[in-house]
Amino acid sequence: MKTKLAALLFSAVIVALSACSEPTKTQTTSPILMAKAEQQNPLLAEYAGPYGGVPAFDKMNLADLKPALDKGMAINLAEIDAIANNSEPPNFQNTIVALEKSGSDLSRVFRYWGIWSSNKNSPEFREIQKEMVPKISAFNSSITGNEKLFAKIKTVYQSEELKTLTTEEQRITWLTYNSFASNGATLLGESKARYAAINQEVAGLQTQFANNILADEENYALFLNDDQLSGLSESLISAAANAAESLGKESQYAITNSRSSMDPFLTYSDERKLREKVWTTYYNRANNGDEFDNNQLIKNILKLRDERVALLGYDNYSQWRLEDRMAKNPENAMDLMKKVWPAAIARVDEEVTDMQAIADAEGATFKIAPWDYRYYAEKVRKDKYSLDSDEVKQYLQLDKLREAMFYVAGRLFNFDFMPVPEGSVSVFHEDVKVWEVKDKTTGEHIGLWYLDPFGRKGKRSGAWATTYRSHTTFDGKKTVLSSNNSNFVKGSEGQPTLISWDDAETYFHEFGHALHFLSATVAYPSSHSGVRDYTEFQSQLLERWLTTDEVINNYLVHYKTGEPIPADLVAKIKKAATFNEGFKTTEYMASAIMDLLYHTTDPALIEPQTFEKEQLTAIGMPKEVVMRHRSTQFGHVFSSEGYSSGYYGYMWAEVLTSDAAEAFAEAPGGFYDKDVSKKLVDHLFSIRNAMDPAEAYRLFRGRDAKVEALMRDRGFPITK
């Protein structure tokens, strides 16, 4: 799942912070020149070196962070003042384009901040984060609250000039106006001041929420002895030994409190009591009644969000959040959930029945519990499809899968990936590797791709993609610096890293985000701002290429013998494609539904644990399944506002994904059809957010997407 840096830091994401270029001399005032002349801080410095300049990760020093933030904000405010106080009549160039050019220094600082926050977190960074997040929020509010600036933006937005602009220019003008208007720019007096104060408070609470989860992930690990490994494969045991060694426990085996460690243990361990312990520890993150408990933070965040949008005239937070999304309002989002939910929980009932039958046949005296689901689902998989997930895993080598992704990128996007010369590009950890991306036909440099694949202490859980520089052309061409980040458990020294089929899909998924960045042809920074119920579509779609014959036949090879995956095993994988879909859909949808309920209910009525239990009971949540992200660890919606009231967006995007996949399946060349691939890149990848997503999809498909494609994909019955 992808994370935007700005969304992690604060709620009011403004156009000024997303620019990647220097202000022109016409916008530069003496305070700006003075500030830049003084700047020696490496975190503020323009990227230097090859490939159009790269981040100076080798010069990262935490002591530079606060001064860089302070200086970057000062420079940006001087730029903003120059725009707001320009005596010329406002127009697209001196207002909107000037904003697009501003904030480049501060943007660079935030790139480094993002590395410390997500990849190299530490107690020392968290202290800085705690101090600076409220300051950053106040800084944002000072810009969105700048009445002179907003008046100029509004004038351009309502001017006749708008009709003469390109489609992209019209859209970024609207994006700019809407960003300010929906973040308090229309408020006056006490209301404006209160809005800004709420932003500051919420930013601090969200940061604390995220850090509490990280603390529980770092503080808990289950250490096993040799007699507690029953059911675990050789590769899992090796990875657990490697994890224990990194935690200072040689000769033992560690199951860390992360999904990539928890999930395979629950799938294969024969030790039911240990499965329960691992499950409980993982799903109780930030819900242990201690200093890292997030329940009160949830209540405080919800109350403040509700108060803030009430100042703007909205009935609830979801109305405010969704009005510029594809769903438009919470009712439409919930309607999609309701169409799929009954089929999902009905499938869970079928899955549990199959699992209970096997457990009973083995002499079990218990009913299937949540910590049994993965374990017995694996037994059902073997029984129904003769498919052993661990057998499949032997053919899923991380390096080979990366080669497969490069192959797909070459066929669809005409991209070529080549490792950069060792030492030519600095990295922030020895595990990070870098590739140059070129056009296969012309040899044109497209950008760089950074990969940070392995979990470690101080790195947040999950998988995500980000950029250190986005493609723009309006102020000199800037090439892309993209990044993928995962938390795979590294194989032992000299051994390949083997991953599960689900993890392989996630690997492709996040690479889809990188391809979205790399294929951009837009002119302006604001065109990279995402529409949350759309931006997951491109990445979800790329998962489909994992099961194409070209990938299976050439890249899924056994880690010991090098032999391609057998045809009969491939047939089993494809036959079992919708296996366990009830579990996967239900655990995700429960989180998405709860997100919408949290943000459409009066916060005064919410006690998180009670609310979660009551609402899930009301919709018929199976007792054998829990939310994918339980409330206290739901970082998507409570550690930032990137996905708040928008977690449903994965399902919304999945409708587009399933429908688009059928377009490829129906094409003469299948998933590598040249004509459909070109339309995909031209209409759905390269334009980013320079066009309304619904219109872009119609250009690709010739019509709107249909939910029936999703139901077919998941093997659910289609009801009229």
Rounded to the nearest angstrom, the gap between the alpha carbon of residue 604 and the centroid of all alpha carbons in its chain is 30
For the entire predicted model, the pTM comes to 0.85
The burial class, CB within 10 Å (0-12 / 13-18 / 19+), for 83 is buried
User: What's the alpha-carbon Rg for the chain, to the nearest Å?
Assistant: 25
CATH architecture of residue range(s) 5-186: Orthogonal Bundle (1.10)
Q: Give the model's pLDDT for residue 160.
A: 97
pLDDT at res. 167: 96
Domain range summary for the chain, segments of one domain joined by +:
5-186, 220-283
The pair of structure tokens assigned to 97 is: 């384009």
| pLDDT value of residue 16 | 28
Rounded Cα–Cα distance for residues 9 and 212 (Å): 15
What pLDDT is recorded for position 430?
Answer: 96
Give pLDDT tens digits for 352-402: 999 999 999 999 999 999 999 999 999 999 999 999 989 999 999 999 999
What distance in Å separates the CA atoms of residue 552 and residue 546, rounded to the nearest whole number?
7
DSSP label of 134: H
What is the residue type of 573?
A: I
Type of residue numbered 153:
I
Give residue 39's pLDDT: 58
d(CA 702, CA 709): 15
- Give percent helix, percent strand, percent coil of the chain, each to the nearest 5: 60, 10, 30
Residue 493's pLDDT is 85
Segment 56-66, tens digit of pLDDT? 999 999 999 99
Which stretches in the chain have pLDDT values below 50?
1-29, 37
Token reading at 291: 């200093």
pLDDT in the model for residue 531: 86
